[in-house]
Amino acid sequence: MKALRCTKCGKEKPTWEFFKNFLFKRGYAYWCKDCHYEYRKEWRRKHPEEHKNYYVKIKNKKKQKRRKDKLTIIQALGNKCQDPKCETPNYCSNHPEILGFHHSSGRKESVSEIVLKWKKEKKLPKDVILLCPNCHSLNHSKHIPHPNVTL
């Protein structure tokens, strides 16, 4: 097994103790993982605001992307509640962000999983339909399968 020397602590360690990094000539980072973790820990301790702001920024970007992906699916499905008995169809179509995914089988699948399936196959899972909050609440309170979905 090939061993590498860490330039921070000076110890010789096996390659699995280093992160792979093809930007470096040897194909691995110059610091071992322990030194890297220690450096990151110390940096976070010294720069708490920068660390916090970075993760808040990343979290917001992910949240915006998930929202955009969800709205793309909603638009493709017609921007409206798929319950024929919906009492507020005009409101739903004017406010697509309130619509949600309903699983008639009771199976829990995250919006992220639904989005991934949509991106791959351009269709929702068989037991998932789009409902407004009112229809969704009514559907769950009755504990009966949705009439539009057949499994």
At 110, the amino acid letter reads S
C-alpha 135/C-alpha 86 separation (Å) is 6
User: How confident is the model over 2-44, as pLDDT tens digits?
Assistant: 899 999 999 999 999 999 998 988 899 999 999 999 999 999 9
Give 89-143 pLDDT, tens digit per residue: 777 677 778 888 887 776 677 777 777 887 888 777 777 788 888 888 887 776 5
Q: Which residue has the tokens 């000076």?
A: 10
The pTM (predicted TM-score) of the whole model is 0.53
Domain ranges of the chain: 3-46, 78-142
Please give the pLDDT value at position 144. 55
**79 burial via Cβ count (<10 Å: 0-12, 13-18, 19+):** middle
Coil/strand/helix, residue 147 = coil
